[in-house]
DNA sequence: TAGGCCATCTGGTCCT
DNA sequence: AGGACCAGATGGCCTA
């Protein structure tokens, strides 16, 4: 990072001079005083060096905003991790794992509610769906595990990420979005 | 050491 | 004009 800026300064404005007491950057003026006065009278004429300084400051501000934006995004991801079922000693889910897991989790909850509505007052099967959906033994709407996707208004469609790497929510042994041992513990947790 | 994940910088584009 | 958003590039850290 420092190298980038030092690069910028050295290459784009070789008239820059650095003062020892501050971080500011200045450009030495090679022009005679008379010429400078003319420019000043004409108004908003900026030297090339000044333009470079302005550009650099804008870039630094933009970097700062971008950093904050990404921090906000990460905070939101952390909040999402916080509401997903997890274990205290579990390693933190990666970003993509968090998103996929959340997607599947929401779908499973929706399915649970739907089944519960359908079987209201009949049986206590609904709570089992949540666990079986995550853990691989959920009944699949299609014979192949992941060829089905959420399209249209069907509430029983599977997560759209089903077929995407790294994991399939319906394959018993392939759960790229959750560590294997976590799945084993999650199984007992949900049940 | 290769590969995965992440933070950051950067330039482009769109919007207000 | 300036800010938000996005995607690509880059380099650091960690793990198998």
Mean pLDDT (chain A, rounded) = 57
**Rounded distance in angstroms from the CA atom of residue A73 to the C1' atom of nucleotide B15:** 20
Residues in chain A, pLDDT under 70? 1-45, 87-89, 123-191
- Neighbour tally for A130: CB within 10 Å: 20
Domain boundaries defined on chain A? 49-120
Q: Are A167 and A178 in contact (CB under 8 A)?
A: yes
A26 beta partners: A17
Protein contacts of strand B with Cβ less than 7 Å away: A 1, 4-5, 8, 59-60, 62-64, 66-67, 70-71, 74, 94-96, 166
Residues A22-63 pLDDT 10s: 333 333 232 333 333 334 444 556 777 787 888 888 889 899
Residue A65 approaches strand C within 7 Å at CB:
yes
pTM recorded for the entire structure = 0.56
Which architecture characterizes domain A49-120 according to CATH?
Irregular (4.10)
A59 touches strand C (CB under 7 A): no
- Report how far apart, in Å, the C-alpha atoms of A68 and of each of A20, A77, A112 are: 30, 14, 38
Neighbours of A15 (CB within 10 A): 13
Q: Which has the closest alpha carbon to A133: A81, A181, A85, A79?
A: A85
pLDDT in the model for residue A142: 28
Report CA(A66)–C1'(C7) in Å, whole number.
13
SS3 A27: strand
Tokens 């029983």: give the residue.
A156
Q: A150, A158 in Cβ contact below 8 A?
A: yes
Q: Is the CB of A66 under 7 A from strand C?
A: yes
Q: Which residue is nearest to nucleotide B9 (CA to C1')?
A: A63
């Amino acid at each position: 990072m420092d190298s980038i800026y030092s690069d910028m300064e050295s290459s784009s404005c070789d008239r820059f001079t650095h003062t020892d007491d501050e971080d500011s950057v200045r450009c030495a003026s090679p022009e005679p005083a008379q010429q400078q006065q003319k420019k000043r009278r004409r108004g908003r004429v900026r030297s090339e060096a000044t333009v470079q300084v302005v550009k650099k400051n804008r870039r630094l501000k933009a970097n700062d905003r971008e950093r904050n934006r990404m921090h906000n995004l990460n905070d939101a991801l952390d909040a999402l991790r916080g509401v997903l079922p997890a274990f205290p000693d579990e390693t933190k889910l990666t970003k993509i794992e968090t998103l996929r897991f959340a997607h599947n989790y929401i779908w499973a909850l929706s399915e649970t509610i739907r089944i519960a509505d359908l079987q209201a007052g009949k049986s206590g099967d609904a709570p089992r769906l949540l666990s079986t959906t995550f853990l691989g033994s959920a009944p699949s709407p299609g014979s192949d595990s992941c060829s089905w996707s959420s399209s249209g208004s069907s509430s029983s469609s599977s997560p759209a990420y089903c077929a995407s790497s790294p994991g399939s929510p319906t394959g018993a042994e392939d759960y790229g979005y959750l560590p294997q041992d976590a799945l084993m513990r999650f199984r007992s947790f949900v049940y």
